[in-house]
Chain A
Amino acid sequence: MIFDATLRPAFTALLRNKARSMLTMLGIVIGVAAVIVTVAIGTGARTSVQKSIASLGSNLIVVQPGSITQGGARSGFGGASTLTPADGLAIAQLPGVAAVSPVVSLRTQVVAGGNNWQTFVSGVAPTYSYIRSWPVASGRFFNQSDVQAIAKVAVLGQTVVTQLFPGQSSPIGASVLIKGTPFTVIGTLSPLGQSAMGQDQDDVILIPYSSAMERLTGLKTVNSLMVSSTQASQIDEVQSAITTLLARRHRIVPPEPNDFQVRNLQAIAQAAGSTAQVMEVLLASVAAVSLIVGGIGVMNIMLVSVTERTREIGLRMAVGAPGRSILQQFLTEAIALSSVGGVIGVVVGALGALLVSVLAHWPTQIPLPWVALAVGFAALVGIFFGYYPARKAAALNPIEALRFE
């Protein structure tokens, strides 16, 4: 009954004017596709940021040197070099702290065999592998005795392996010259890939921090301390405990600013994530406005359709169609136009998102609730903009409609 009196005439009418229906749908298609692509890019970016944060460890706290004031001129963060491995050991004693690793980093040219390569050398503790959840792919990570012995051992990231030892099955046992000092390769790291910022995380050589300080920098201080708390929920308490501890160890007297700063990666990530989400919602709303423009197109074509079919409407009324049935017929037509357009829009949007991730290498992800939302909104646009023309059709005077030329 319902199908024959509403759905069938609606689809027959739409198929009869294929080109016109297509062009009308185009507005909706573009609107929905724009929403889907925007959301896909936004969600993809957010997920990949979250993933790389997770790969860093969500319990991660970073302690960096702060600024120092000398004669009124303040240096930037890191200007003060006050952090020492002893600070790290003290932090390790705090409750809620799972592991600490000092980080000494430098960028330098390294040589192995006939190949040389510019890379990052990081002096870290054996706990670093645990803190970053970064296991070795082959060989072993250095241990506490290597640190104590200031051993000349190195663990290579995968990019360094391919650059220094191309075509070789395993670099383990080979020697790498770092700033003129030969280090023996004892392991390779599993690949991490790009960071959220597009940095190659595998382009790195890890050595014991003691070796880095003694043999490469010659300094008593380190660049930063990486701390992982036992539980993500305790991260704030641990953070403030570290602040108190270091202030005491560095003998900071209150009005004086701390010569270090303690940052929590999760908080940084959340801040970045919520900014991204605000942007995403903003862009999606702009896209939704184009959907409304598409809706006006639907209304326009429905008004044309009602006028064209005035005699048909009059006849249907004469043979007993109640106003409600005429209203439903035209409303169905409008909803069909916009929701078919919505479904096509989702497909086009999904293809667009795929294209973006293939061509621009941006990670994209289409969240299902948004698909439902976009199609639902398109259908709603159809109801909203189809109601007036349908109402107009149902309110026609049958005699005048039958006489209409």
Chain B
Amino acid sequence: MESVVDVRGLRKIYTLGQEEIGALAGVDLRIDAGEFVAVMGPSGSGKSTFMQIVGMLDSPSGGSYHFEGRDVSRLTADERAAIRSSRLGFVFQSYNLLARTTALENVELPLLYATHPVREREQIARAQMQLLGIEHLAKHFSNQMSGGQQQRVAIARALVNGPALILADEPTGALDTKTSDEVMALFGELNRERGITILLVTHEADIAAYAKRIVRFRDGLIISDRINDQQRAA
């Protein structure tokens, strides 16, 4: 198996004035292509910090990080931006759709920064929305959609560049149980049928149950890492 994410002794220290906060205290984790990993753990255990570093939005204070075999610490800012554009997809708890912008334009957004001919862009975005069954939302503005609909649009946006890895930090945190289940079923399907690697943070065991593998954090360290043999499908 080829590794997508490979971190060794990953550490992160935040400095707030005089105070130093250790958010990650030496994390070792390897995620292979095609995996579906759920990260769990109490509040403040470093889950989001870990996701940000894996997503190349932040850099670690120590340790190493290889993405698809490339040493991330040796990449320039532009190279990291290019990887975010073509290999990574983010899904946030708060959706983060652009205000006063249609769903279709939101889905098109990542294509602006990749090399896609103008005319193809709308087609690609529409095709992606169709795959997720949300093509009827194309002309809706963010404030004209429900939370579940917005999160689907955000997932379509994360998928539109055909990424290797989806990073989702509490994607169901703002959704009700039924909608959460629908969104998680979608992630499961993307993982099974399209082989997309998924790394997801959640507080809820019900949500983590959709993953193939569950990693637990505490105080910036991994305290357990196990295969989920009762994976939920729907």
Q: A residues touching B (Cβ–Cβ < 8 Å)?
A: 1, 3-5, 16, 311-312, 315-325, 398-399, 402
A318 touches B57 (CB 8 A): yes
Docked CA distance A374–B84 (Å):
42
Query: Are the CB atoms of A5 and B90 closer together than 8 Å?
Result: no
Residues of B participating in the A interface, judged by any CB pair closer than 8 Å: 52, 55, 57-58, 77-78, 81-86, 88, 90, 92, 96, 98-100, 109-110, 112-115, 118, 121, 157, 161
- CB distance B112 to A5 under 8 Å? yes
A401 → B minimal CB distance (Å): 10
Cross-interface CB contact of A16 among B85, B92, B100, cutoff 8 Å:
B100
Contact of A319 among B52, B78, B99, B110 (CB under 8 A): B110
- Does A322 lie within 8 Å of B77, measured CB to CB? yes
Smallest beta-carbon distance A314→chain B, Å: 8
How many residue pairs, one in A and one in B, have C-beta atoms under 8 Å apart? 64
- Sample of 21 A–B contacts (CB below 8 Å): A4-B121, A5-B112, A5-B113, A312-B98, A316-B109, A316-B113, A317-B57, A318-B96, A319-B85, A319-B110, A319-B157, A320-B83, A320-B85, A320-B86, A320-B88, A320-B110, A322-B77, A322-B78, A323-B77, A398-B57, A399-B57
Query: Considering the chains assembled together, what is the distance between the CA atoms of A73 and B81 in angstroms?
Result: 90
Contact B90–A318 (Cβ < 8 Å): yes
Most A CB contacts (10 A, CB to CB) among B81, B92, B98, B115 go to: B81
Q: Which residues of A contact B98 (CB under 8 A)?
A: 312, 315
Chain B nearest CB, measured from A331 CB (Å): 16
Q: Which residues of B contact A318 (CB under 8 A)?
A: 55, 57, 84, 90, 96
Distance of A177 from chain B, by nearest CB (Å): 85
Cα–Cα, bound, A321→B100 (Å): 20
Question: Most B CB atoms within 10 A — which of A5, A315, A319, A325?
Answer: A319
- Whether A317 lies near B81 (C-beta < 8 A) is yes
B81 adjacent to A320 (CB under 8 Å)? yes
Task: Report the bound CA distance from A311 to B96 in whole Å.
Answer: 8
Q: Whose C-beta in chain A lies nearest to the C-beta of B110? A: A319
Closest residue of chain A to B167, judged by CB?
A318
Is there an interface contact between A4 and B112, defined as CB atoms closer than 8 Å?
yes
Instruction: With A319-B85, A320-B81, A320-B114 given, name 11 new contacts (CB 8 A).
Output: A1-B112, A5-B113, A315-B96, A317-B84, A319-B113, A321-B81, A323-B77, A323-B81, A399-B52, A399-B57, A402-B92
A312 to B81, CA, bound (A): 16
Minimum CB–CB distance from B156 to chain A (whole Å) comes to: 12
Q: B77 touching A321 by the CB < 8 A rule?
A: no
A324 adjacent to B78 (CB under 8 Å): yes
Q: Which residue of B lies closest to A401 (CB)?
A: B57
Bound-state CA distance A3–B82 (Å) is: 19
Pair A4/B157 contact, Cβ less than 8 Å? no
Query: Given the complex of chains A and B, what is the CA–CA distance between A319 and B84 in angstroms?
Result: 6
Residues of B within 8 A of A398 (CB): 57
Contacts of A402 in B (CB 8 A): 92, 96
Chain A, Cβ-Cβ closest to B85: A320
CB contacts (< 8 Å) of B113 on chain A: these are 5, 316, 319-322, 325
List the A side residues contacting B121 at CB < 8 Å: 4
Inside 8 A of B77's CB, which chain A residues have their CB? 322-323
Distance in angstroms from A326 CB to nearest chain B CB is 10
Residues of B close to A315: CB separation below 8 A: 96, 98, 109
Complex Cα distance A319/B98, Å? 12
Residue of B nearest to A1 (CB): B115
Name the A residues within 8 Å of B81 (CB-CB).
317, 320-323
Complex Cα–Cα for A4 and B85 (A): 16
Report B-chain residues with C-beta under 8 Å of the C-beta of A16: 100
A-side contacts of B55, CB under 8 Å: 318
A4-B86 contact in complex given A16-B100, A321-B113, A399-B58, C-beta closer than 8 Å: no
Task: Give Cα distance in the complex from A398 to B100, angstroms.
Answer: 21
B219–chain A nearest beta-carbon distance, Å? 21
- Closest residue of chain B to A319, judged by CB? B110
CA distance in complex: A318, B115 (Å): 17
A9: shortest Cβ distance to chain B, in Å? 8
CA distance A399 to B92 in the complex (A): 12
Q: Is the Cβ of A320 less than 8 Å from the Cβ of B92? A: no
Q: Which residues of B contact A1 (CB under 8 A)?
A: 112, 115, 118
Given A5-B112, A399-B57, A402-B96, the answer on whether A322 and B82 have CB atoms closer than 8 Å is yes
Cβ distance B88 to chain A, nearest Cβ, rounded Å? 8
Instruction: List, in ascending order, chain B residues with CB within 8 A of A4's CB.
Output: 112, 118, 121
Which residue of chain B is the closest to A398 with respect to CB atoms?
B57
**Most chain-A Cβ atoms within 10 A of its Cβ — which of B88, B112, B113, B115?**
B112
Q: Which 8 A-B pairs have the closest CB atoms?
A: A320-B85, A319-B110, A322-B81, A320-B84, A320-B113, A5-B112, A398-B57, A321-B113
A399 cross-chain contacts in B, Cβ below 8 A: 52, 57-58
Most B-side CB within 10 Å, residue of A316, A317, A322: A322
With A4-B112, A5-B112, A324-B78 given, is the CB distance from A319 to B90 under 8 Å?
Answer: yes
Minimum CB–CB distance for A7 against chain B, Å: 11
Among B52, B85, B88, B109, the one with the most A-chain Cβ atoms within 10 Å of its Cβ is B109
Give Cα distance in the complex from A325 to B98, angstroms.
17
Q: Which of A320, A325, A399, A402 has the most C-beta atoms of chain B within 10 angstroms of its own C-beta? A: A320
Distance, CA A316 to CA B121, complexed state (A): 16
Give chain A residues whose Cβ lies under 8 Å from the Cβ of B90: 318-319
